[in-house]
């Protein structure tokens, strides 16, 4: 196997919790962050408590049962802990979260010193989010925080990722999501070795300093001892476009949706996209405001996605997974 000089690691590691046929839920781990993201809250029984406890940011496409029934699992594991979970979704999400929380008796909250908060971000318009907080100590009564402008297209943001959304059409509004790494810093092994240094964990600090835009005189600790200035070490790495993961489900095949998805998920490294029905069942797909395999493949191509991961296959095709995959692949290839 050829030894590559550019050491590329993935920051975003997405996986479908329930495969291509089960309830939608995409668990996304982020390298160097304990906090994980979860897109859609279908049945979460297959996520371990350990993974559930890592979920700090959630995207809910819409509140049909197969995308929202897992909320209780997330609630259950967090009660009694200090945690904040941000939940991004369409208009109506705060009422649905409030109704879920209102389904239990919270008379024992005074016995806890911990605080659990769900912060709901309803995307009202591309540039406006309505924020509502639900706190354990307040027995999860809704606390309106008003309208918040969306900064540079991202509803949520950390140094490692940004969560962007588009309002798409299903039966009602349904959000599409894109998780973007702002920039990617890659280390070049040959350059490290030519500088008389070793490849090792110390490079994490170098990458973080470059990513955070620190000044040239910043000292960076070397593997054995001593430091060098960041400016001197910069040539060991290259700064490139960050990784991007798209997620689109439960959308009608309309020109408006196709345009909005191409804008949101353009250039995605991986696009997770529903392909609920076969191309032969296009009538059924249209009646239910879902995509066919062919539409999913075509949309993936129009986004310029490097990899397409179709999911939300209707259970009626349980015995023909290969046929569905082949239909998506042929439309994706064009």
Q: How many CB atoms lie within 10 A of CB 316?
A: 12
Nearer to Zn ion, 64 or 244 (CB): 64
* Residue 296 C-beta: closest distance to Zn ion, Å: 14
* Residue 275 C-beta: closest distance to Zn ion, Å: 12
**DSSP helix/strand/coil, 184:** strand
Nearest partner of 37 among 163, 141, 197, 221, judged by Cα:
163
Q: Any idea which residue has 């949520």 for tokens?
A: 156
Nearer to Zn ion, 160 or 170 (CB): 170
Nearer to Zn ion, 40 or 181 (CB): 40
CA distance 309 to 289: 20
C-beta of residue 16 within 8 angstroms of C-beta of residue 33: no
* Residue 24 C-beta: closest distance to Zn ion, Å: 6
* Residue 170 C-beta: closest distance to Zn ion, Å: 5
Nearer to Zn ion, 70 or 242 (CB): 70
* Residue 310 C-beta: closest distance to Zn ion, Å: 14
Strands (E), the chain: 6-7, 12-16, 26-30, 36-39, 55-59, 83-90, 116-125, 128-135, 142-149, 154-157, 162-169, 173-180, 183-188, 219-221, 227-229, 237-241, 244-248, 270-274, 307-311
> CA distances (Å), 59 to each of 50, 174, 178, 247, 248, in order?
19, 11, 10, 10, 11
Nearer to Zn ion, 102 or 173 (CB): 173
Nearer to Zn ion, 25 or 74 (CB): 25
Residues 6+ apart with CB under 8 A from 1: none
How is the chain split among helix, strand and coil, in percent rounded to 5?
30, 35, 35
The separation between the first and the last C-alpha atoms of the chain, rounded to the nearest angstrom, is 32
Residues paired with residue 174 on neighbouring β-strands, in sequence order: 168
* Residue 77 C-beta: closest distance to Zn ion, Å: 23
Nearer to Zn ion, 276 or 294 (CB): 276
Nearest partner of 170 among 294, 291, 23, 67, judged by Cα:
291
C-beta of residue 195 within 8 angstroms of C-beta of residue 202: no
Nearer to Zn ion, 294 or 314 (CB): 314
* Residue 21 C-beta: closest distance to Zn ion, Å: 12
* Residue 20 C-beta: closest distance to Zn ion, Å: 13
Under the rule (CB under 5 A), what is the footprint of Zn ion? Answer: 64, 66, 250
Nearer to Zn ion, 265 or 289 (CB): 289
């Amino acid at each position: 196997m050829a030894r590559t000089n550019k050491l590329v690691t993935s920051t975003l590691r997405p996986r479908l919790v329930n495969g291509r046929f089960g309830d939608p839920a995409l668990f996304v781990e982020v390298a160097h962050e304990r906090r994980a993201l979860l897109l859609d809250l279908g049945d979460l029984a297959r996520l371990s408590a350990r993974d559930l406890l890592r979920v700090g940011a959630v995207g809910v496409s819409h509140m049909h049962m197969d995308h929202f029934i897992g909320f209780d699992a997330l609630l259950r594991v967090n009660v009694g802990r200090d945690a904040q979970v941000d939940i991004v979704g369409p208009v109506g999400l705060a009422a649905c979260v409030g109704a879920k929380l209102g389904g239990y008796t919270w008379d024992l909250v005074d016995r806890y010193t911990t605080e659990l908060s769900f912060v709901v971000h309803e995307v009202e318009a591309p540039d406006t989010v309505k924020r509502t907080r639900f706190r354990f100590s307040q027995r999860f009564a809704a606390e309106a925080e008003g309208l918040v402008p969306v900064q540079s297209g991202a509803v949520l943001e950390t140094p490692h990722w940004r969560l962007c959304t588009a309002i798409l059409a299903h039966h009602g509004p349904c959000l599409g999501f894109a998780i973007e790494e702002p920039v990617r810093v890659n280390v070049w092994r040959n350059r490290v070795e030519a500088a008389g240094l070793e490849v090792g964990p110390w490079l994490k600090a170098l990458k973080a300093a470059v990513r955070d835009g620190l000044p040239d005189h910043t000292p960076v600790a070397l593997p054995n001892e001593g430091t060098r200035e960041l400016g001197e070490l910069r040539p060991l790495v290259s700064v490139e476009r960050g990784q991007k993961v798209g997620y689109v489900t439960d959308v009608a095949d309309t020109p408006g949706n196709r345009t909005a998805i191409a804008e949101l998920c353009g250039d995605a490294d991986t696009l997770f996209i529903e392909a609920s029905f076969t191309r032969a069942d296009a009538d059924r797909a249209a009646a239910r405001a879902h995509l066919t395999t062919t539409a999913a493949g075509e949309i993936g191509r129009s986004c310029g996605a490097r990899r397409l991961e179709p999911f939300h296959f209707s259970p009626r095709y349980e015995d023909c997974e290969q046929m569905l995959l082949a239909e998506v692949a042929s439309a994706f290839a064009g």
